């Protein structure tokens, strides 16, 4: 019976002047991959409405911008999400970026932080390393823990830096880096001194995160739509015209721009792109005004943006920093490296950080030398009581531990056993040494440490 029904349906379609290809396209399953902001704000709602309208399923794989663009370019995904336009790189140049919504870039901190408003200049100076203590902006006396997403091609980070510094590849003074915005938000919730950037669609309604006003204006769908809130950006759906599923992918993008798609966008505090014609008209003047307020100006971007889907050295961004524009002369010498770590079977238990060392005492208005390493810590935490959870460790074989703390001149080097959740960065900071030194003393090939591992933390 099912076969007979299928044949009858095929005959009916042909008789109506249609082909079976139309039926296949209507139920085409699509794969989406990209940044978590676009996933939560755009794709989940639109995909639900898309399926309710009789279309095929959409597999959603949220991670970050660069991974999505790589996947669509390479053919492992049909659609990507991005909070930035094309960078002109080799990967981006073959893709089609379609803006579908307007979102607000939101500076976030913990609700325990008394600071509720910052000027654009203050935000610029915090990321640039000129302002390092919350008391300098009316808060408590304590360091500002600046968090950022590791990928220089991440859409949210790129767009904010483009607005504040005139180029999205601008390095910033962020001591801790994360693989995506979701991980950054989780850290901000736990740290009363935390500071980072997310989007309105991602944090609106989250009582565990405080959205900071800019020059007294609170971020909201209304202030973004009117342009009163200055940090607004388009969100894009990205497709590959050469993909076998290009027609179905384009149909999904068109649906996002339809009335049903717009309703799904508004439900997530987004402004449909076509409803923001005033924002398009004011975009150039708005960018110029922001740069004038912070004392910067636009400059050329590197021709290639490093992808976050695989750890690579951000050579292009670092090279650009060495030729900083007159608006940002403090970054006179920047060097950096991202070290690839063994890839685990899943991201569960993987923690990403970065270490930034400032050679100029007290930072002040500039810093002369910045070195940075990004690394991961993989730990398998044993079951412990809640009281002892923060100190849980696993025991390393005694022979291995003795080997690592062996002394040459009867003056044993200090050793330290890695605790649950610790990273090479946190250990280095705790003992006042450099990450590179710990690597050298322990003959580490990369920045990966494991719970229970014994490390030398000073020279013999």
Question: Do residues 269 and 263 lie in contact, with contact meaning Cβ atoms separated by under 8 Å?
Answer: no
Q: Which CATH number fits domain 16-102+233-276: 3.40.50.2300, 3.90.1150.10, 3.40.50.720, 3.40.190.10?
A: 3.40.190.10
Is the pLDDT at 318 greater than 60? The verdict is no
Query: β-strands 232-239, 96-109: how paired?
Result: antiparallel
How many angstroms separate the Cα of 199 from the Cα of each of 108, 156, 211, 262, 305? 9, 8, 9, 18, 22
Task: Tell the burial category of 14 from Cβ atoms under 10 Å away from its Cβ (0-12, 13-18, 19+).
Answer: exposed
Query: For the chain, how many residues are written?
Result: 460
Report yes or no: 124 and 83 within 8 Å, Cβ to Cβ.
no
Mean pLDDT of 98-127: 96
pLDDT of residue 412: 61
pLDDT at 440: 82
Q: What is the pLDDT of residue 106?
A: 97
Taking the C-alpha atoms of residue 339 and residue 448, their distance in angstroms, rounded to an integer, is: 9
Whole-angstrom Cα distance, residue 354 to residue 72?
A: 28
Taking only the tens place, the pLDDT of each residue in 58-89 is: 999 988 888 899 999 999 999 999 998 988 88
Distance CA 434, CA 375 (A): 13
Question: Which pLDDT does position 425 carry in this prediction?
Answer: 67
Average pLDDT over residues 270-284: 93
Cα(270)–Cα(143) distance, rounded to whole angstroms? Answer: 33
Cα distances (angstroms) measured from residue 57 to each of 13, 49, 76, 263, 303 = 22, 11, 16, 19, 36
Residue with token string 């002394």: 407
For tokens 């005004």, the residue is 289
Per CATH, domain 378-456 is 3.10.350.10: yes
State how far the Cα of 314 lies from the Cα of 318, in Å rounded to an integer: 6
Angle CA(455)–CA(456)–CA(457) in degrees, nearest 5?
A: 110
Cα 43 to Cα 349: distance, rounded to the nearest angstrom: 27
What is the rounded average pLDDT of the residues 412-429?
Answer: 77
3-state DSSP assignment of residue 231? coil
Q: Report CA Rg, the chain.
A: 25
Q: Please report the pLDDT score of residue 460 as a whole number.
A: 56
Tokens of 355: 């270490």
Domain boundaries defined on the chain: 16-102+233-276, 378-456
116-135 pLDDT, tens digit per residue, is 999 999 999 999 999 999 99
- Look at the pTM and tell me if it is higher than 0.75: no
Lowest-pLDDT choice from 193-207, 256-270, 393-407: 393-407
Average pLDDT across the chain, whole number: 74
Higher pLDDT, 166 or 331: 166
Measured at the CA of 105, the angle between CA 328 and CA 216, to 5 degrees, comes to: 85
Whether the pLDDT of residue 335 is over 70: the answer is no
Q: pLDDT tens, 365-376? A: 433 333 333 433
DSSP H helical ranges for 361-447: 398-404, 424-431, 435-441
DSSP helix/strand/coil, 419:
coil
Cβ distance 175 to 354 under 8 Å? yes
pLDDT recorded at residue 350: 36
Any bridge partners for residue 437, and if so which?
A: none
CA distance 405 to 403: 6
Question: From its phi and psi, is residue 215 left (phi > 0), alpha (psi between -120 and 50) or beta?
Answer: left
Phi/psi class of residue 227: alpha, beta or left (left: φ > 0; alpha: ψ in -120 to 50)? Answer: left
DSSP 38: H
* Cα distance from N-terminal residue to C-terminal residue, the chain: 81
Q: Is the pLDDT of residue 448 over 90?
A: no
Higher pLDDT, 139 or 369: 139
Collapsing DSSP to helix, strand or coil, 233 comes out as: strand
């Amino acid at each position: 019976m099912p076969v007979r029904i299928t044949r009858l349906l095929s005959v009916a379609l042909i008789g109506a002047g249609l082909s079976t290809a139309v039926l296949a396209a209507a139920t085409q399953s699509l794969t989406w991959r990209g940044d978590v902001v676009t996933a939560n704000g755009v794709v989940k709602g639109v995909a639900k409405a898309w399926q309710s309208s009789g279309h095929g399923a959409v597999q959603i794989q949220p991670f970050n911008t660069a991974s999505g663009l790589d996947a669509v370019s390479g053919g492992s995904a049909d659609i990507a999400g991005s909070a930035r336009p094309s960078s002109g790189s080799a990967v981006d140049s073959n893709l089609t970026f379609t803006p579908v919504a307007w979102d607000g870039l939101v500076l976030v901190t913990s609700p325990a932080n008394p600071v509720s408003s910052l000027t654009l200049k203050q935000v610029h100076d915090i990321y640039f390393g000129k302002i390092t203590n919350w008391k300098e902006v009316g808060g408590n006396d304590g360091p500002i823990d600046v968090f950022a997403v590791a990928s220089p091609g991440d859409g949210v980070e790129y767009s904010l830096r483009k607005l504040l510094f005139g180029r999205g590849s601008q390095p910033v003074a962020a001591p801790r880096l994360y693989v995506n915005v979701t991980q950054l938000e989780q850290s901000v919730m736990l740290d009363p001194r935390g500071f980072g950037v997310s989007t309105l669609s991602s944090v609106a309604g989250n009582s565990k995160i405080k959205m900071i006003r800019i020059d007294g204006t609170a971020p909201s769908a209304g202030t973004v739509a009117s342009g009163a809130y200055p940090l607004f950006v388009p969100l894009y759906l990205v497709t590959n015209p050469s993909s076998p599923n290009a027609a179905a992918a384009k149909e999904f993008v068109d649906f996002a721009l339809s009335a049903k798609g717009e309703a799904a966008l508004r439900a997530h505090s987004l402004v449909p792109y076509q409803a923001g014609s005033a924002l398009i008209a004011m975009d150039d003047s708005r960018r110029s005004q922001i740069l004038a307020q912070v004392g910067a100006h636009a400059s050329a971007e590197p021709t290639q943006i490093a992808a976050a889907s695989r750890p690579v050295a951000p050579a292009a961004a670092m090279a650009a920093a060495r030729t900083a524009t007159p608006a940002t002369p403090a970054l006179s010498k920047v060097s950096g490296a991202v070290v690839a770590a063994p890839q685990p079977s899943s991201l569960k238990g993987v923690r990403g950080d970065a270490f930034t060392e400032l050679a100029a005492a007290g930072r002040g208005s500039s810093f002369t030398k910045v070195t940075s390493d990004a690394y991961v810590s993989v730990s398998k935490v044993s079951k412990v009581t809640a009281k002892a959870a923060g100190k849980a460790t696993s025991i390393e074989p005694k022979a291995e531990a003795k080997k690592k703390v062996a002394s040459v001149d009867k003056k044993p080097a200090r050793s330290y056993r890695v605790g649950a959740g610790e990273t090479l960065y946190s250990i280095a900071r705790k003992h006042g040494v450099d990450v590179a030194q710990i690597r050298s003393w322990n003959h580490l090939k990369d920045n990966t440490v494991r719970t229970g591992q014994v490390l030398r933390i000073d020279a013999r």
